Structure 1
Amino acid sequence: MTLLFKKLRQPLVLGYIIAGFIVGPYSGWFPAVTDTVNIHTWSEIGIIILMFSLGLEFNLHKLASVGGTAIITAITEVVSMLAVGYGCGQLMGWNKMDSIFLGGMLSMSSTTIIIKAFEDFNMKGKKFTELVFGTLVIEDIAGIFMMVILSTIAVSQGISGGELAASLVKMVFYLALWLLLGIYWLPTLLQKTQNLMNDETLLVVSLGLCFGMVLLATHLGFSSALGAFLAGSLLAGTIHMEEIEHVSKPVKDLFGAVFFISVGMMVNPALIMEYAGPIVIITITTIVGKAIFSTLGVLGSGQPLQTSILCGFSLAQIGEFSFIIASLGISLGVISEYIYPIVVSVSVITTFTTPFVIRSAEGAYAFVNKHLPAKFSDYLNRHTSEDRSEAEKDSDWNAFVKKFFSRLTLYAVIMLGIILGGTSFVRPFLNAYMDSTIAAILTVLAILIVMAPFLRQGLFQKNEFFIPLWFKNRTNRLPLLVLLSLRFAIMVFLVALPIRILFHFAAFYILLAAAAMIFFIARSEWLITPYLQIEARFLTNFNERKLNERKDAGLEHNWLDERIYVSSVTLNRESSVINKRLLDLSITKRFDMKIIKIIRNDKHINIPAGTEKLLPGDIIFIAGTLDGLNNTDVVSDFDLTKKAAGEFATLHDFINHQEHYAEADQLLSFAITVEKGSALAGVRIKDSKIKSEWGSLLLGLERDLYPIIFPNINMRLQENDLLWILGSQKMAGKLAKMDLL
């Protein structure tokens, strides 16, 4: 069958289904596989491998690049088809559970079939195909959520808002926690064991992780598909993804075939004949419904009518995810036997119709465009555009809120995970060896110690949009204070939670103790260092693939030129910073900027000390990020200089255009590697004497290619860190003598 369908240039999925039917219990043409329990077992293994492979094609960077159009389209299509499918089932007289699962099956398009059609028509790389692939990514994520929702509904045999919300919150929490832990530990583990990895060990480790996550997911009450998908998505963010995909492809092909063959085995021709009417109705509903609602979703996101129709018509089918949802319903025993062959039949029919539907999209656009009322056509042209940007710049408020809640959620998830680990594992372990009260006290202390670095960072997280909003409009101040109070309240709650779980004190005393602990933690500078080490490791691992791609392209050190900018300002007598020391300037502290030079009466003060006072007539040169300089422009009385094009000069431009200064007055930038055994290794930046003895400024560092601009002075330097140093010719001579250059 595989060879036959390859010859006919049709998807192999159809060949597998027919092959399964031929050897299944309903055909009678060949010695049949009659053990339906065995069929279900192999089907579930097939689903696990398929979901693992799907996860390998998905990572968080890919999700971030999807854009608003794909998100709006996917949500519109999934929600609409859920409702349409449910309504269709009810109109045909099906019970509630069958109708709910039908809606779930009809909401998922087929990635396999769409890719095949685009390849046949040579459409890959066009604008609308990229939007379709983005929509499929969001659909896959929605499918995972949907399986959790359907499982909850199936178990309770009804729709309970509270149970659904609890399951979703629980799933999101565990999903976030697993991703965070996976990103922190997994790339590091693979890197440490790289010399031990050949094709065989890499395959075994990858599949071991997959089935381990499946066990963990089912233990926590989620589907095996969720665990497999998550395992794949964790590995997708590592530099080993291509190798893993390569070595696991035969396994995926084999067990993918096993799954679709098991689908074919469950097809009952008698049921298909009996339910021919519903098959026709559901097929028409699928094609028409998905084409219309997908088109409306793309159109609603701001894309033009032609692009919207091309996208909508491409998504008008169901496929492998629908089988997975049907398998879930069968395994839970909550849907009728006839659903499975009906869904398979609809999928087979829509597989054959997809190329014709895609080909008819241009004709449909011409017809719709011709018959649209003139006023409506003008409205669409005004509100949609082919060049509409997916990444329009957010307002300061949008950017502030987005960063505020994303960081707050991140810290909350981590701290809840620590609390969960402490109460679920540490407490029972200690209880076995000591008095329960002492065990509870030690558990709380352990939880608070591990939480402390994240708690402090959560309390004092920097948000560069806060100051501009505060100064732009007085009406912004109350909502900003409310948000800060909310953050403080959440931190107090997170500290109080483990105390409340393990002890039964009055709420007043618990909150009082939590507030006291937060006050102590907030004043503890030593907590910054461990957090910074954790954050640096996390960010390096999270961006591992992108950083490796930059390295392969020879772009590993271009970040400095791209991200650090320089501007200057001449101070007059009315300036608010006159007679202030550099270390007292709030502007530079708030926006992570550095004064790199002062010209005073033609005298150049390079890398001035923090005790240097600013005087009238001083020309000060400020280095910082683009956001930092823009915000300084907004909230201060500085009139920062820009280039003729109205942009700030990069540090690279500044260094290369100092010919009008004497050589001794020019600033230079160098990269220094912290060698093994170096006196800098393991030293905090503030103790490294880079500024006090070298007369230099640490602009940033690269750790495993990950760039950190203006790192916190409490960060410890590590072996192989690449330090970017700014200083004078005199500094260069010192570094050369020290054999650092």
Structure 2
Amino acid sequence: MAVSVLTTFATPFYIKSSDAAYRTIVRVLPQAILDSIDRRAQAEAKESSPSSKLWMGYIKRWAVKVGLIVLAAIASVEVLNAIAGPLLARFAPDFVAGYAIAGISILITSAFVSNLFHSVRSGRRNEFSVLWIKSRRNHLPLLALALFSTLVSIAAIVYIVHASNIGHTVWPYLFAVLASVLLARSKSVHSSFLRIETRFIRNLNENIIAERRESLSDEEHVHWVEKHLYVTRVETSRMLQAKPRPLSPESMLKIVGQSTLPGESQHSAGFLFGMAHGLDLIAIERDGRRIAGDTLARLSKPDLLRRIGDAEDPLCVREGDVLTFVGTEDEVDSYLQHLLKDNVIDEDKALGESLEDYLASSPSSPDITCFSFVIEAKSAFVGRTIANIDFKSAYGSLVVAIEHNLLLRMKPSRNTRLAAGDRIWLIGESGLAGNLINAADAEVIDRGTPEGVVAQTDGPLGQGDR
């Protein structure tokens, strides 16, 4: 109490005399100490600046990508030489085996080179472009990093040719470098790399996500999914011009299943509607307003594809419609890359944003919400699979994530069985969320074996409707 009283009365005096005290300290301290304080303050301000953070992030990702190129080149050629080399030597001359090993290794390495040099990433301008535009002082270090990246990539290809024992003249080296450049510039190669990277990172990050989950507060935990799901909005005019209308339901289903009918183009409907990339269509906007929100929320993917391909159906996608898809960041990346490859959208339109930002900023998003709840021990959902509950048709909601034993899985399979204590995240119409939560809270007196729980395999649409 005494300290509190003293500080209460002394604080106004401290504030009043602070300027005089500062001037006195500056006058008394040696200039060397003052200069040291100024340098430290400037360094701290520089480290906390947005430009500095952008540079740090860019350098980290650049170093990882360059390291992966070196690792891919060494690992691929050495593993192939050790395993495939002896096998090929039995059936083909040494030079044929060498060229085969070099070709496969160059293809693998070029995918990583493509990831390093690709100009558009995550549906937004990459960090290189941002830093280049931000300041002229960034030009020289950025060019130096780009030059070093190029030299490392060339060195990796040269190493592959040398290790494959085909570099007896200069021509194999030149052809290998040229082939690597062409492959690295290929959007198909980059898109394939994104698909593989998506699967790899999804598996790798599960344990990391679980560790981070333990450090989050309850509120941060609930909103984590909204921050890590991404939304992209695509205008359909150029898409529909890429293929004559109307599209038959059979054609839509086959293309989404990544197969085509005779005479059909692979690039149209499947990648147009995003289903082949694991994305989910959550909204169709026509003339500035959402249409058939409740109907769209309850349609399974096969029914949805049939209806948007039926020219007589009100849900048939027309020129000028805006389609809103949701998925993981890498799924959105892969989809946008295919649209860019097919020249369906321009680079400045290949945009994605987090679900959290979309819900906060989109003028039509208030009808859509992302919500979660914990499945209690007596819930009617315990022991049932996502497919058996049929969240889409029964409740108009899409399952986007589930947490089981602190392990969070994005976009879970429809065969995932729910257990007591699981937290489940869904996207759906705002008015339907309450009905679903009430159904989840319904108590089951005699559960036994849940009726209708059967093993269902995913059809040609990937994971199916969750």
TM-score category (smaller protein): 0.3 to 0.5
Q: Which has the larger radius of gyration?
A: 1
The structure whose residues are more often helix, as a share, is: 1
TM-score, L = length of structure 1: 0.30
**TM-score normalised to structure 2 length:** 0.44
Structure ranking higher in strand proportion:
2
